[in-house]
A and B are shown apart, each in its own frame.
Chain A
């Protein structure tokens, strides 16, 4: 008993064990290194050959929009090759690291699952916790450090070539992912008696948990229509127990907490773990029961929802119950047989099965009958302090914005009785549309579960979907209630709910709404990609004049002057808008906002081309709407459209870009705006457009169609 119980002593012991384990895993490490280096060389070769070949590369332009040639082109191709190499390296190293982390971790924690190893390690003069921690550190170092070193070399090579380094984030992702995966596996390993059970349990959790959570979230979305699916689908809960998701590099704080919880939990358990449980089924039984319940719940939910969708027994709920019980019970028994290699202990665990069936069936019954009255909730004007309204097509939302949070924050927007009543009436229209429809049938809701799972990013739809609405209310007791309704793919195809267009101009065309939520008022300068003026020329024709034109349709050339002009015009407009609130009716006469996605409704106002070739109304929109507006309000001089690029978050796989277009009629009272237009040479002193393109010619549209189809329309 000569040693002192010091931290230093423990650290030295842990370090010795760590070094020894490193040696024992050196073979696997060498295999990893060889594979990684060979794969990186292959990726580099492929990138240099394909990305660096000017014959098979697309035309490249400089920042001024000039086509690159010669040495500049070669340099750009090389940069492109190195960037692609970095992307390839991230994929290769990431995959290899994930796979080898599993190997290392299984090998390192097998000391808990073998009686002979248990004898050896159990008798060594090192505390169980120190031993466990040293094993964790070894597994982590073996996983993360080689990957970090390789990515570091890739980054260094890229930096030396003068190319921006993009692999930095990947190192962090690997560190966080390895930490979460290793500590989670370590915790499961402490609970299990065999490596087989550990691997099966770990994979069962990693696979079953996110699928189960998606099923639950899909069920909530489908059965609680108007709920905020973002709160479930896009939160950390979906993958909370799936450490492999930590490799995404998102929710880093959560994964650090997860890692710490796994380490602390394992430390507490490993100290009292019975060494004789090595090669038995389990050292601690509770996690096993929970995994059995999880897998059984997943399978039960799956068949239940399928049978519910099929309206088995003529009733969706009865079909669900039948399917749930039919698959969850045998799954529970099979999982038990796999883990225990027999029926021993099955009877003892039946209470877990009973609880699973009761909670599954009971829970779904309560949800199906909407016992809380959630679905048809509609407040009265007297019961709310204020109300807010969100129309996806009329609110500028950046990809980083929290749409659900925005909707919630809107609850204080309108406090007057008239606006509150208008919002409640629109809400009522939505509910009427839903509940007159077949979607109220139970089986349709079960169908909607899968639909919501497939198209889970409901709020993403709000970015580019003109059929998304949100309502928020601040109740008299201070609480905020929100409801979000989208006609996304799932609703349209699986839920049976058809889209509805609300006449919401009384709210969305109000000065408050435009000022707070339009792109023209809130979008950052760099997102403005088109500014076009529509008006009449001296011949009386309706013409369009590009101030800022889309680079995509204009040989990629956008000059700094154009940007500056557009920005000046926008600032002048904002100033006039705020100074003339009484002109709101005129200004918003032609207001149309598109959440336009190129496949559905890309409208390029600069040349009159509208992406949806079947919608001829819009082809003549510029001219007709401007003329109608002018007929109604003769003092309207012109229309200005501001278009803003939106981040491509649509589910539509064909979408290449999203643009939101906002069109304002400019009356004579908007003196600042008109002055800027004259200064820029767009308007003459007679308020006529000088130059521009006559709307009826549609040059670009015809060219495009000729290219694509070989004939003129």
Chain B
């Protein structure tokens, strides 16, 4: 389990993380989503021991992570731009990792090298961006980490490799109880992979919950009236996050379960009513809009 306790991080005058509190249970896949500059990558770097928090602490299985090689041996961080030396190949990088990571598995390494369509002796620096990501992932998964931190991992990966990666991660989580934290703007991919999602904005966590619960708690509702009921606020009592009206047709985003809001809407005698779950991207836009971060407010 990872415990993040009131973690703050400042870069000169910029407060990148502001008293972030979060617990990440073992064997879960947490998606970190948020606006640009919300602190996702900074949080990942603190989790992986690259940065030291200015305030608060991060505990991995009860131990501080920063400059603790033994705790870090159970973790692996794939940054958004992985670094490789000019003459690095998968094989010679594996030479180092094999000696540094206590859980390194040669068999896993061999399996992964076969699974990913990549040359082991080619210079990684000469590979395409997607291939470099694959190289980083092979090395990451071969270390058999208990905690895997991935930053924008889907960037540059083709759909086939994305599927492969997701399968591999799900397999590791299922088989080895690996804990994965993924920061990404690719919400579609996270939706398939994550158990929980954490939404960040301006260095703070706006929400953190299971993805199913999140989806369950927000609904897209289309409401059509033959005649719109009279009254100043016909939707009073329903927690509406967004309304788009097109004549007699209302497209609503409502917080709450169908059991909570459907009786109230039915009471308005609509001609047509339907409720659907939101996609993660729609949830993201909706929640960010509620936090004052939407396209219209930016433009």
Q: Any chain A CB within 8 A of the CB of B100?
A: yes
Query: In whole angstroms, how far apart are the Cα atoms of A5 and B81 in the complex?
Result: 31
Q: Is there contact, CB below 8 Å, between B51 and A13?
A: no
Q: Taking CB as reference atom, which chain B residue is nearest A118?
A: B50
Q: B76 contacts which chain A residues (CB < 8 A)?
A: 123
Q: Is there contact, CB below 8 Å, between A123 and B96?
A: no
Complex interface residues of chain B between 49 and 65 (CB less than 8 A to chain A):
49-52, 61, 63
Q: Is there contact, CB below 8 Å, between A271 and B49?
A: no
Can you list, as one digit per residue, whether each of A11-37 has a CB less than 8 Å from chain B (1) or not (0)? Answer: 011001101100110110000000000
Q: Any chain A CB within 8 A of the CB of B87?
A: yes
Partner of B102, one of A2, A10, A124, A127: A2
Q: Is there contact, CB below 8 Å, between B100 and A27?
A: no
Say how far A152's CB is from chain B's closest CB, in angstroms. Answer: 29
Query: Given A3-B102, A13-B100, A16-B96, are A114 and B71 neighbors across the interface (CB < 8 Å)?
Result: no
Q: Is there contact, CB below 8 Å, between A119 and B50?
A: yes
Q: Any chain B CB within 8 A of the CB of A125?
A: yes
Q: Any chain A CB within 8 A of the CB of B130?
A: no
Q: Any chain A CB within 8 A of the CB of B72?
A: yes
Q: Taking CB as reference atom, which chain A residue is nearest B65?
A: A123
Q: A123 contacts which chain B residues (CB < 8 A)?
A: 48-50, 72, 75-77, 79
Q: Any chain A CB within 8 A of the CB of B45?
A: yes
Q: Any chain B CB within 8 A of the CB of A117?
A: yes
Q: Any chain B CB within 8 A of the CB of A562?
A: no
Q: Any chain A CB within 8 A of the CB of B92?
A: yes
Q: Is there contact, CB below 8 Å, between B95 and A20?
A: yes
Say how far B61's CB is from chain A's closest CB, in angstroms. Answer: 6
Q: Is there contact, CB below 8 Å, between A13 and B63?
A: no
Tell which of B50, B77, B102 has the most Cβ of chain A within 10 Å: B50
Q: Taking CB as reference atom, which chain A residue is nearest B47?
A: A123
Query: In whole angstroms, how far apart are the Cα atoms of A24 and B86 in the complex?
Result: 8
Q: Any chain B CB within 8 A of the CB of A417?
A: no
Tell which of A2, A17, A117, A124 has the most Cβ of chain B within 10 Å: A124
Query: In whole angstroms, how far apart are the Cα atoms of A27 and B87 in the complex?
Result: 9
Tell which of A4, A122, A125 has the most Cβ of chain B within 10 Å: A125
Q: Is there contact, CB below 8 Å, between A126 and B100?
A: yes
Q: Taking CB as reference atom, which chain B residue is nearest A272?
A: B52
Q: Is there contact, CB below 8 Å, between B77 and A3?
A: no
Q: Is there contact, CB below 8 Å, between A16 and B87?
A: no
Complex interface residues of chain A between 650 and 664 (CB less than 8 A to chain B):
none
Q: Is there contact, CB below 8 Å, between A122 and B95?
A: no
Q: Any chain B CB within 8 A of the CB of A128?
A: yes
Query: In whole angstroms, how far apart are the Cα atoms of A123 and B79 in the complex?
Result: 10
Say how far B163's CB is from chain A's closest CB, in angstroms. Answer: 27
Q: Any chain B CB within 8 A of the CB of A130?
A: yes
Q: B45 contacts which chain A residues (CB < 8 A)?
A: 119, 122, 275
Q: Any chain B CB within 8 A of the CB of A578?
A: no
Q: Taking CB as reference atom, which chain B residue is nearest A24?
A: B85
Query: Given A116-B82, A116-B83, A122-B48, are A13 and B99 neighbors across the interface (CB < 8 Å)?
Result: yes
Query: In whole angstroms, how far apart are the Cα atoms of A50 and B248 in the complex?
Result: 106
Partner of B82, one of A13, A26, A120: A120
Q: Is there contact, CB below 8 Å, between A122 and B50?
A: yes
Q: Is there contact, CB below 8 Å, between A20 and B96?
A: yes
Say how far B66's CB is from chain A's closest CB, in angstroms. Answer: 9
Q: Any chain B CB within 8 A of the CB of A366?
A: no
Say how far B52's CB is from chain A's closest CB, in angstroms. Answer: 7
Q: Is there contact, CB below 8 Å, between B92 and A274?
A: no
Query: In whole angstroms, how far apart are the Cα atoms of A130 and B70 in the complex?
Result: 13
Q: Any chain B CB within 8 A of the CB of A276?
A: yes
Q: Is there contact, CB below 8 Å, between A1 and B87?
A: no
Complex interface residues of chain B between 120 and 150 (CB less than 8 A to chain A):
none
Q: Is there contact, CB below 8 Å, between A128 and B73?
A: no
Query: Given A123-B72, A276-B51, are A116 and B63 neighbors across the interface (CB < 8 Å)?
Result: no
Q: Is there contact, CB below 8 Å, between B99 and A122?
A: no
Q: A118 contacts which chain B residues (CB < 8 A)?
A: 50
Q: Is there contact, CB below 8 Å, between B71 and A275?
A: no
Can you list, as one digit per residue, whether each of A104-146 has a CB less than 8 Å from chain B (1) or not (0)? Answer: 0000000000101111101111111010000000000000000
Q: B103 contacts which chain A residues (CB < 8 A)?
A: 2
Query: Given A3-B73, A24-B87, A271-B67, are A116 and B79 neighbors across the interface (CB < 8 Å)?
Result: yes
Interface residues on B, range: 35 or more
Chain B interface secondary structure, helix, strand, loop or mixed? loop
Q: A114 contacts which chain B residues (CB < 8 A)?
A: 83
Query: In whole angstroms, how far apart are the Cα atoms of A274 and B61 in the complex?
Result: 24
Query: In whole angstroms, how far apart are the Cα atoms of A123 and B99 in the complex?
Result: 15
Q: Is there contact, CB below 8 Å, between B67 and A124?
A: no
Partner of B52, one of A17, A116, A119, A274: A274
Q: Any chain A CB within 8 A of the CB of B74?
A: yes
Q: Is there contact, CB below 8 Å, between A1 and B74?
A: yes
Q: Any chain A CB within 8 A of the CB of B69?
A: yes
Query: In whole angstroms, how far apart are the Cα atoms of A370 and B75 in the complex?
Result: 67
Q: Any chain A CB within 8 A of the CB of B109?
A: no
Q: Is there contact, CB below 8 Å, between B83 and A119?
A: yes
Q: Is there contact, CB below 8 Å, between B83 and A120?
A: yes
Q: B101 contacts which chain A residues (CB < 8 A)?
A: 125
Query: In whole angstroms, how far apart are the Cα atoms of A116 and B86 in the complex?
Result: 13
Partner of B72, one of A10, A117, A119, A124: A124
Q: B79 contacts which chain A residues (CB < 8 A)?
A: 116, 119-120, 123
Q: B73 contacts which chain A residues (CB < 8 A)?
A: 1-3, 125
Say how far B23's CB is from chain A's closest CB, in angstroms. Answer: 18
Say how far A137's CB is from chain B's closest CB, in angstroms. Answer: 16
Q: Is there contact, CB below 8 Å, between B92 and A23?
A: yes
Partner of B69, one of A19, A120, A125, A272: A125
Q: Is there contact, CB below 8 Å, between B82 and A125?
A: no
Query: In whole angstroms, how far apart are the Cα atoms of A121 and B298 in the complex?
Result: 37
Query: In whole angstroms, how far apart are the Cα atoms of A122 and B83 in the complex?
Result: 12
Q: B85 contacts which chain A residues (CB < 8 A)?
A: 24
Query: In whole angstroms, how far apart are the Cα atoms of A67 and B17 in the complex?
Result: 87
Partner of B100, one of A119, A125, A274: A125
Query: In whole angstroms, how far apart are the Cα atoms of A271 and B81 in the complex?
Result: 24
Q: Taking CB as reference atom, which chain A residue is nearest B100?
A: A125
Say how far B104's CB is from chain A's closest CB, in angstroms. Answer: 11
Q: Taking CB as reference atom, which chain B residue is nearest A273?
A: B52
Query: In whole angstroms, how far apart are the Cα atoms of A118 and B50 in the complex?
Result: 7
Tell which of A2, A27, A122, A275 has the most Cβ of chain B within 10 Å: A122
Query: In whole angstroms, how far apart are the Cα atoms of A272 and B83 in the complex?
Result: 22
Q: Is there contact, CB below 8 Å, between A275 and B51?
A: yes
Q: Taking CB as reference atom, which chain A residue is nearest B50?
A: A122
Q: Taking CB as reference atom, which chain A residue is nearest B52?
A: A274
Complex interface residues of chain B between 86 and 120 (CB less than 8 A to chain A):
86-88, 92, 95-96, 99-103
Say how far B148's CB is from chain A's closest CB, in angstroms. Answer: 11
Partner of B99, one of A2, A16, A24, A275: A16
Q: A2 contacts which chain B residues (CB < 8 A)?
A: 70, 73-74, 102-103
Say how far A4's CB is from chain B's closest CB, in angstroms. Answer: 8
Say how far B26's CB is from chain A's closest CB, in angstroms. Answer: 13
Q: B77 contacts which chain A residues (CB < 8 A)?
A: 119, 123
Q: Is there contact, CB below 8 Å, between A12 and B83?
A: no
Say how far B114's CB is from chain A's closest CB, in angstroms. Answer: 25
Q: A126 contacts which chain B residues (CB < 8 A)?
A: 69, 100
Q: A122 contacts which chain B residues (CB < 8 A)?
A: 45, 48-51
Query: In whole angstroms, how far apart are the Cα atoms of A114 and B74 in the complex?
Result: 25
Query: Given A27-B87, A116-B83, A118-B50, are A1 and B70 neighbors across the interface (CB < 8 Å)?
Result: yes
Q: B67 contacts which chain A residues (CB < 8 A)?
A: 127-128, 271
Top-9 shortest CB links A-B? A122-B50, A16-B99, A125-B73, A116-B83, A123-B77, A125-B72, A119-B79, A123-B48, A20-B96
A-B contact pairs, 27 of them (CB 8 A): A1-B63, A1-B71, A3-B69, A3-B73, A4-B70, A10-B69, A12-B99, A13-B99, A23-B92, A24-B85, A24-B86, A27-B87, A116-B79, A116-B81, A116-B83, A119-B45, A119-B77, A119-B81, A122-B51, A123-B48, A123-B49, A123-B79, A124-B100, A125-B73, A125-B101, A125-B102, A130-B69
For the complex with contacts A1-B70, A2-B74, A20-B95, 10 further pairs of A-B residues with Cβ separation under 8 Å are A1-B61, A1-B63, A2-B102, A3-B73, A5-B70, A13-B69, A23-B92, A24-B87, A130-B69, A275-B50
